[in-house]
Amino acid sequence: MQLTLAPIPFYWPRETVLNFYEQAAHWPVDRVVVGENVCSKRRELRTDDWLNVAQRLRDAGKEVAVSTLALLEAESDLKTVERLCRQHDISVEANDFSAVNALHREGVPFSTGPYLNIYNAQTLDLLVADGMNRWTLPVELGRETLKTLLAHIDSSALPLATEVMAHGYLPLALSARCFTARALERPKDACKRVCIDYPTGIPVDSQEDQRLFTMNGIQTLSGDILDLQAQIPEMADLGVNALRISPSQPEMTDIVASYAAAIQSRESQPTPASSAPYCNGYWFEEAGMIHHAI
């Protein structure tokens, strides 16, 4: 089973991002997906910068891909996505059907991230026919659906690798509204990219102080962090090809190392703590925020 480092969901300063990937080059991850998939206004790194980061990681021996924006609004967003899809040097991870359509037109194989609604076997078949060779299970789906879809991939001999998000804030929703700017009483058009001040987002709690969500610009993430390290042996048995770690803080060395060790030994350890408590309910086909201690 491979380990994939998913794109950074938050807006970090350029130096933080570059340092992060310098470290990642030495981490025990097989694959690194880079790029901005949340907000087109985030410009500490531009498209060419992301492609350069990917090239450096490839030179360091990693498989690489660059991720596309998940929610497109302006025509300029579509141009950015189509430009990424026209370059054939770095493989592309599609997070919207505009990217799927462009990559099909280009005739290049592609992977898909967690933002595409792939809920059934027929969707897998059609996207494989369009060129998809790796997909990510939508985060609200659990073990039973995964089993059904893996069985289909196996019986139909689809040339398709399956990734499951195993660690990180769950990407729950996207909006036209920037919740971070609004919470700070700034108009979106004058946000001054203030989300850069919140490297792990802004926690949203109930009036009883129950952690519910995390604001990340136009994105709403889960309040707690997904952690499926305990499920690694089960996922390996099911035939999952790769686990996906979404950075939950700038310092990810220990978390990545503990996942890599668990994959290697097929024995999970408690995952080192991150910037919020852990949850795993979706895996059990329950409310995502639930945490089952194993």
Partner 1 sequence: MELVCPAGSLNAFKAAVENGADAVYLGFRDETNARFFAGLNFNDRAAQKALTIARDRGVKLFVAINTFANNQHWEKWQAAVDGAVDIGADAIIAADIAVLDYAHRRYPDQALHLSVQASATNAGALSFFHRHFNIQRAVLPRVLSLPQVEALSQSSPVDLEVFAFGSLCVMAEGRCYLSSYLTGESPNTVGACSPAQFVQWQTEGDTLNARLNGALIDRYAPDENAGYPTLCKGRFKALGKQFHALEAPTSLNTMDILPRLHQAGVKALKIEGRQRSPAYVAQVVKVWRAAIDHYLANQDAFQIDPRWQSQLMDVSEGAQTTIGAYTRDWQ
Residues that bind partner 1 (CB under 8 A): 70-75, 77-78, 81-82, 96-102, 104, 115, 117, 119-123, 126-127, 138-140, 144-145, 148-149, 152, 170, 172-179, 183-184, 187-189, 202-210, 212-213, 215, 220, 222, 281-282, 285-289
**Min dist. Cβ of residue 82 to partner 1 (A):** 7
**Min dist. Cβ of residue 251 to partner 1 (A):** 23
**Min dist. Cβ of residue 213 to partner 1 (A):** 7
The DSSP element (H or E) to which 201 belongs, if any, is none
The SS3 of residue 69 is coil
**Min dist. Cβ of residue 120 to partner 1 (A):** 5
With tokens 């920037």, the residue in question is 178
The SS3 of residue 71 is coil
Taking the least distance from each CB to partner 1, the nearer of 191 and 262 is: 191
Q: Is 178 annotated as a binding residue?
A: yes
Task: Report how far residue 96's alpha carbon sits from residue 101's, in angstroms, rounded to the nearest whole number.
Answer: 9
With tokens 């037109």, the residue in question is 105
Q: Is 85 annotated as a binding residue?
A: no
Say which residues have a Cβ less than 8 Å from residue 273's Cβ, sequence separation at least 6: none
Instruction: Identify the DSSP state of 187.
Output: -
The DSSP element (H or E) to which 135 belongs, if any, is strand 132-136
Taking the least distance from each CB to partner 1, the nearer of 62 and 134 is: 134
Taking the least distance from each CB to partner 1, the nearer of 61 and 207 is: 207
From 255, 225, 221, 172, select the one nearest 3 (Cα to Cα). 255
Known binding residues for [4Fe-4S] cluster are 39, 178, 191, 195
Summarize the annotated binding site as residue ranges. 39, 178, 191, 195
